[in-house]
């Protein structure tokens, strides 16, 4: 996660529907929203915020293809080329017998590759103790909207009023 | 937009709010260990210590301490391995397959079921190591360029497939479980009062902040992981069954094995989930989260898979006769009427008859009865593996090599070891990690408990009063 600096307005909502409906209203009114933090996923929130669709699926597919190739290469090379072995009268390179391991390694590479990509793209790491929190209750029962005052042309009072109108129960200021 | 019928009972009862969920689930993590927990943990440790002594002796002395003989070369070791792997199927089934089927009731049991899966697979893996006799040579099963003559492992062998299947299954399940834990660890981190727990939970929460971007990626990868785990969970027991099915031993050489083993795995896994959840919900006062509805639904799955297993037994028997292969027929006839008839009939009674009792709604909603049947099912499933393995082996082709198997104290002690390990791990999990997935439960709570008439009678009352339409619940999906 990129380091956030500057002054932020923090709107605190107590309902996921309220915050979901507040987002398009505020954006229409010209407020640039930095991010919304919630204790559980709110469906449609990334669309409402205008976040681009995640491309993690493409990465996952690439990792899967890698796993599949690694498995087949390993087995064909060891069993067929490095030390050709005839087992049970079968051809040294007998693809049907390789399917189970190919499948397992495809899954293994996809899962691990995708999860590591997920950690990197979200800046998640065991050392991340000093991440910025706008409101500590956003992992419990509150839905928190962060607005970067530096990126907005509207005045803090106007935004604050708009947040209150959209259903925020508290509006706080945070400085990083 | 997703609309839930008011006729359904809410998934989470007691009209919980988001904050209530956090409180209820974090209570046991944050509080000091209770007396019950300490007693249970103490017993588990004693059992584990006894088992470890038996295991140490097994490894020190060699596999000769087991009751194996020239004819029966696989007995309790592989029986226990298959039994534990089977149990380890329910967690991924609940979290992955039910996620794909949008079964929201999974949310309050998936965390504990996945933990159970991981611990069961650890127990299963311990039997793989045990039956090798020289566990320090276990790495020989890996395709390593070796200095013993540059001969590679045989990739045509199902035993090698098994190494890949079990290790992939274990690591992918662990990752899936951990990804689901991160948001909840963040919740605990943000509530933590002591420096140590803030640091520990903070380390494992990896700086999770719950931003919309993170959540959307989280949901995306959960879906892909579920999509990957679904064929994976089916493949694991398929490959385990191929350890037997690709051999030419009468009684093992059966094409029906893969689906039959998978059904049996889900059957025993759900039974074990029932056992653990029925205790957990009482001890941690989670009756509002794991309701009778959950128990009943799981019982329905047990009945379904139990019936599949029953059909498989009968099909197998019919085909053994219909194939006209003398040895095949004898293997099955011997199971039923030979010296191990009691194991066969124990298996039949426990697995085929007992789950059929759940056709009665009263019985499948009875907690005591459910607990009892779950234990019975797991006993039955252990006997199934014993019957398949030992009775197929004990009468070899030549009557002079017929033999019986009887377990020694080390066979039993090594089995006890796995119980000690399993319960020690599960108790540690249930104390230090949230047993219910808070984030997912919060996500279903809107559609289940807010503004809902308590039950069908409540809906009828609302209609009679002629007030507003009964509260259809909408959640944004």
The C-alpha of B168 sits at a distance from chain A's nearest C-alpha, in angstroms, of 6
CA distance A11 to A65: 44
CA distance B63 to B376: 30
Cβ of A128 and B207 within 8 Å? yes
What is the total count of domains within chain A? 2
**Rounded mean pLDDT of B127-138?**
89
Distances from the Cα of B292 to the Cα of A37, A112, B464, angstroms: 34, 37, 28
* Confidence grade of residue B8 (pLDDT, cut at 50, 70, 90): low
Task: Mark whether A103 and A73 lie in a shared domain.
Answer: yes
Task: Mark whether A83 and A106 lie in a shared domain.
Answer: yes
Whether residue B223 lies inside any domain: the answer is yes
- Among A137-146, A163-172, B147-156, B333-342, the range scoring the smallest mean pLDDT is B147-156
pTM value? 0.90
Task: Mark whether A85 and A113 lie in a shared domain.
Answer: yes
Find the CB nearest A87 among B154, B442, B475: B154
CB-based contacts of A123: which residues, under 8 Å, 6+ apart?
A1, A131, B207
pLDDT tens-digit map of A46-79:
888 888 888 899 999 999 999 999 999 999 998 8
Whether residue B269 lies inside any domain: the answer is yes
Whether residue A129 lies inside any domain: the answer is no
Instruction: Please identify, among A121, A149, A166, the residue that sits at the C-terminal boundary of a domain.
Output: A121
Whether residue A2 lies inside any domain: the answer is no
Task: Supply B211's token pair.
Answer: 């931003």
In this prediction, what percent of chain B has a pLDDT beyond 70?
A: 91
Task: Mark whether A44 and A61 lie in a shared domain.
Answer: no
What is the ipTM for the molecules in this complex? 0.91
Task: Mark whether A42 and A78 lie in a shared domain.
Answer: no
What is the total count of domains within chain B? 1
Task: Mark whether A116 and A153 lie in a shared domain.
Answer: no
CB-based contacts of B61: which residues, under 8 Å, 6+ apart?
none
CA distance B269 to B109: 13
Find the CB nearest A82 among B152, B164, B214: B152
Task: Tell me the pairing of strands A35-37 and A7-13.
Answer: unpaired
Whether residue B109 lies inside any domain: the answer is yes
The C-alpha of B19 sits at a distance from chain A's nearest C-alpha, in angstroms, of 5
- Specify whether the CB–CB gap between A39 and B439 falls below 8 A: yes
Task: Mark whether A143 and A169 lie in a shared domain.
Answer: yes
pLDDT tens-digit map of B79-121:
999 999 999 988 888 888 888 888 888 888 889 999 999 999 9
Domain that holds residue B112: 17-144+161-448
* Average pLDDT score, chain B: 87
- Specify whether the CB–CB gap between B81 and B437 falls below 8 A: no
The CATH number given to whatever domain includes residue A28 is: 3.30.70
Domain that holds residue A11: 7-50+135-175
The C-alpha of A63 sits at a distance from chain B's nearest C-alpha, in angstroms, of 13
Cβ of B156 and A108 within 8 Å? no
CA distance A16 to B476: 9
């Amino acid at each position: 996660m990129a380091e956030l600096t500057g002054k932020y307005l923090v709107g605190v909502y107590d309902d996921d529907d309220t915050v979901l409906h507040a987002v398009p209203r505020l954006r229409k009114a010209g407020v640039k929203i930095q991010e919304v933090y919630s204790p559980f996923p709110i469906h449609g929130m990334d669309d409402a915020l205008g976040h681009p669709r995640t491309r993690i699926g493409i990465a996952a597919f690439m990792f899967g293809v890698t796993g599949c190739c690694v498995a087949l290469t390993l087995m064909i090379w060891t069993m067929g080329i490095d030390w050709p072995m005839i087992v049970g009268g079968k051809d040294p390179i007998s693809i049907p017998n390789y399917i189970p391991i190919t499948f397992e390694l495809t899954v293994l590479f996809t899962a691990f590759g995708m999860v590591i990509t997920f950690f990197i793209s979200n800046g998640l790491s065991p050392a991340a103790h000093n991440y910025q929190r706008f409101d500590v209750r956003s992992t419990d029962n509150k839905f928190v909207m962060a607005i970067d005052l530096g990126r907005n042309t509207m005045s803090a009072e106007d935004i604050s009023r708009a947040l209150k109108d959209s259903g925020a129960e508290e509006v706080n200021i945070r400085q990083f | 937009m997703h609309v839930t019928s008011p006729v359904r009972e809410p998934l989470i009862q007691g009209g919980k709010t988001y904050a209530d969920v956090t409180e209820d689930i974090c209570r046991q993590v944050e509080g000091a260990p209770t007396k019950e927990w300490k007693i249970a943990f103490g017993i588990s440790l004693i059992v584990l210590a006894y088992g470890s002594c038996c295991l140490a002796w097994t490894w020190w002395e060699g596999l000769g301490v087991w009751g194996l003989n020239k004819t029966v070369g696989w007995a309790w070791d592989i029986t226990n391995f298959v039994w534990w792997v089977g149990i380890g199927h329910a967690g991924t089934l609940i979290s992955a397959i039910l996620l794909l089927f949008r079964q929201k009731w999974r949310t309050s049991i998936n965390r504990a079921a996945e933990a159970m899966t991981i611990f069961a697979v650890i127990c299963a893996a311990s039997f793989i190591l045990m039956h090798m006799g020289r566990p320090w040579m276990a790495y020989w099963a890996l395709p390593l360029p070796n200095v013993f003559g540059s001969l590679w492992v045989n990739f045509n062998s199902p035993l090698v497939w098994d190494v890949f299947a079990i290790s992939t299954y274990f690591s992918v399940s662990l990752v899936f479980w951990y990804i689901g834990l991160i948001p909840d660890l963040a919740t605990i981190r943000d509530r933590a009062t002591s420096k140590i727990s803030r640091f520990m939970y903070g380390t494992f929460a990896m700086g999770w902040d719950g931003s919309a971007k993170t959540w959307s990626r989280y949901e995306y990868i959960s879906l892909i992981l579920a999509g990957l785990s679904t064929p994976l969970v089916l493949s694991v027991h398929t490959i385990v069954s191929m350890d037997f099915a690709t051999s030419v031993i009468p009684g093992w050489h059966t094409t029906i094995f893969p689906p039959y083993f998978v059904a049996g795995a889900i059957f025993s896994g759900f039974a074990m989930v029932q056992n653990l959840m029925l205790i957990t919900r009482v001890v941690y006062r989670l009756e509002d989260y794991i309701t009778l509805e959950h128990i009943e639904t799981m019982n329905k799955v047990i009945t379904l898979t139990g019936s599949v297993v029953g059909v498989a037994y009968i099909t197998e028997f019919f085909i053994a006769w219909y194939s006209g292969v003398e040895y095949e027929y004898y293997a099955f006839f011997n199971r039923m009427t030979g010296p191990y008839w009691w194991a066969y009939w124990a298996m039949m009674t426990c697995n085929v008859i007992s789950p059929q009792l759940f056709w009665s709604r009263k019985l499948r909603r009875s907690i005591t009865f459910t607990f009892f049947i779950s234990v019975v099912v797991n006993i039955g499933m252990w006997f199934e593996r014993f019957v398949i393995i030992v009775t197929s082996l004990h009468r070899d082709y030549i009557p002079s090599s017929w033999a019986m198997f009887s377990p020694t104290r080390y066979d039993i002690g090594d089995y006890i070891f796995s119980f000690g390990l399993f319960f020690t791990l599960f108790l540690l999990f249930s104390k230090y990690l949230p047993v219910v997935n808070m984030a997912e439960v919060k996500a279903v709570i809107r559609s289940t408990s807010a503004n809902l008439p308590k039950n069908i009678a409540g809906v009828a009352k609302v209609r009679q009063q002629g007030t507003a339409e009964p509260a259809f619940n909408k959640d944004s999906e």
